[in-house]
Amino acid sequence: MSFKSLGLSPLVLQAIEEKGYKQPSPIQEQGIPVVLEGKDVMAAAQTGTGKTAAFTLPILSMFENTKPAAANNVKALILTPTRELAAQIDENIRYYGKHLNLKTQVVFGGVGINPQMIKLRRGVDILVATPGRLMDLYQQKAVKFSQLEILVLDEADRMLDMGFIHDIKKIMALLPKKRQNLLFSATFSDDIRKLAKTIVNNPIEISVNPKNSTAKAVEQVIIPVDKTSKNKLLSHLIKENNWHQVLVFCRTKHGADRLAKFLIKQDITASAIHGNKSQGARTRALADFKSGGVQVLAATDIAARGIDINELPQIVNFDLPNIAEDYVHRIGRTGRAGAAGHAYSFATIEDKKNISEIQSLIGEVIATEIIKGFEPSEKLAPVALKAQKPKRPKKPRSPRPDAANGNREGRADKPKQPRRK
């Protein structure tokens, strides 16, 4: 199937051809026609599947010949959990809409609000926003929703994980009841379905990949190592294998900073990206990494959300994540579009539980490799794959008010951790 058969406008197709894309991905093939029909959509799609184009391309096509938005008004609203993802989506919209006469804007915290308010005065056809900054703009009477036609909630699972549910509910209450709703999430968890009931109406459900398919496409290795040797091991791997571009995940902001400073002392160009960095610093670090000016980008999970780099050869889990799903999101940054991808995870004896949960999620045992000269002082025995117990049907329960409190992107960049059951 080609993009031409999906019903997109000629000017959008022209931009796709100029980008060099020939065939739509599964999420695009299934999602674009449904969105063009004006139906609500609930889609399960991992990062790296082409999901951004699955909603931006049809929205651009639908707005090609429509009346522009009035002053301070918005016609399509795309909500995202992080600044980096918002910027990435905006970049896509501007490219694919470059032949259209549409006004687009991105707003998020960490930068001045006044320039955003000024640009919104003209009205915006497509607005990409993080929830906290959008609420700030609404309270300043800088944005109106009376002309809103389409709402997109991207990475809904991460929205919930980061504690944005409070802001999302506030935003939903401000929007016109009659609108098209598109909800995208990595998985359809119980919490996501509960949220979806308040947003989408009779949605078409699309699920193009099981939750572990991204992991299957990437060559994965666990490297046992002492905690005190992780820095030197990473430096060794980069120099020994001549890595020119590697995304490294750290558990904490301070850990990312410490690692970047260490690598720089080893004559390896490196930058850190996390919530304590100014938006300007985050943008520069990401741009330098994408251009090849920086070999290593040390990132926390939140800051890395939205990083989209073509043919990223490898990622390193310097610290394994506490949440198994985050492992899949992390390694999904490599091995995209059929390219070879490699994921290396440093593991200490304390990581046995995390490894077990990750393997249960992806349904396979990850290979282990010990690097000569970095043998751990305490042996990490291979972790067997846990047998899956059949799930018992859940008893219906009466709904109760959600007690989660939102945190504002750009005010306090300290995401709320999801509650564990």
Report strand pairing: 74-79 vs 367-368. unpaired
- Whether 388 has a pLDDT exceeding 90, the answer reads no
Q: Do 3-207 and 213-368 share a fold? A: yes
CA distances from 284 to 11, 215, 417 (A): 31, 29, 28
pLDDT for the residue numbered 47: 67
Give the residue-averaged pLDDT of 188-199. 85
Give the residue-averaged pLDDT of 3-27. 92
Give the residue-averaged pLDDT of 55-67. 95
Q: Which of 10, 9, 59 is nearest to 34 (CA)?
A: 59
Tell me how far the alpha carbon of residue 123 is from its chain's centroid.
27
Token readout for 45 is: 């799609």
Q: What is the CATH number of domain 3-207?
A: 3.40.50.300
Mean pLDDT of the chain: 86
Report strand pairing: 74-79 vs 204-207. unpaired
**Dihedral pair phi/psi, residue 110, rounded to 5°:** 90, -10
- Whether 93 has a pLDDT exceeding 70, the answer reads yes
Cβ of 291: how many Cβ atoms within 10 Å?
Answer: 8
**Residues forming beta bridges with residue 150, ordered by sequence position:** 76, 180
Torsion sign over Cα 8, 11, 16, 22: positive
Quick: pLDDT tens for 79-91: 999 888 899 899 9
* Residue 350 DSSP class: G
Q: Which of 95-109, 122-136, 211-225, 363-377 has the lowest mean pLDDT?
A: 211-225
Q: What is the CATH number of domain 213-368?
A: 3.40.50.300
Q: Which of 84, 81, 88 is nearest to 162 (CA)?
A: 81
62 confidence band (pLDDT: 50, 70, 90): very high
- Whether 301 has a pLDDT exceeding 60, the answer reads yes
Give the residue-averaged pLDDT of 141-165. 91
| Sheet of 180-185, strand order | 104-107, 124-129, 74-79, 150-153, 180-185, 41-44, 204-207
Give the residue-averaged pLDDT of 382-399. 57
pLDDT for the residue numbered 409: 40
- Whether 369 has a pLDDT exceeding 60, the answer reads yes
pLDDT for the residue numbered 404: 36
- Whether 268 has a pLDDT exceeding 50, the answer reads yes
Q: Which residue would you say has higher pLDDT here, 414 or 347?
A: 347
418 confidence band (pLDDT: 50, 70, 90): very low
pLDDT for the residue numbered 191: 83
The C-alpha angle 395, 397, 399, rounded to 5 degrees, equals: 155
User: What span, in angstroms and rounded, lies between the C-alpha atoms of 409 and 282?
Assistant: 14
- Whether 128 has a pLDDT exceeding 70, the answer reads yes
Query: CB of 181 within 8 A of CB of 171?
Result: no
- Whether 66 has a pLDDT exceeding 80, the answer reads yes
Token readout for 147 is: 């002309």
- Whether 327 has a pLDDT exceeding 90, the answer reads no
Give the residue-averaged pLDDT of 304-312. 68
387 confidence band (pLDDT: 50, 70, 90): low
Stated pTM of the model: 0.67
Q: Residue type at 305?
A: R
Q: Which residue would you say has higher pLDDT here, 384 or 109?
A: 109
Cβ of 384: how many Cβ atoms within 10 Å?
Answer: 9
Domain chopping of the chain, boundaries? 3-207, 213-368
Q: Which residue would you say has higher pLDDT here, 86 or 410?
A: 86
Q: Which letter, b or e, does each residue of 7-26 get, where b requires 16 or more Cβ atoms within 10 Å of its Cβ?
A: ebbebbbebbeeeebeebbe
215 confidence band (pLDDT: 50, 70, 90): low
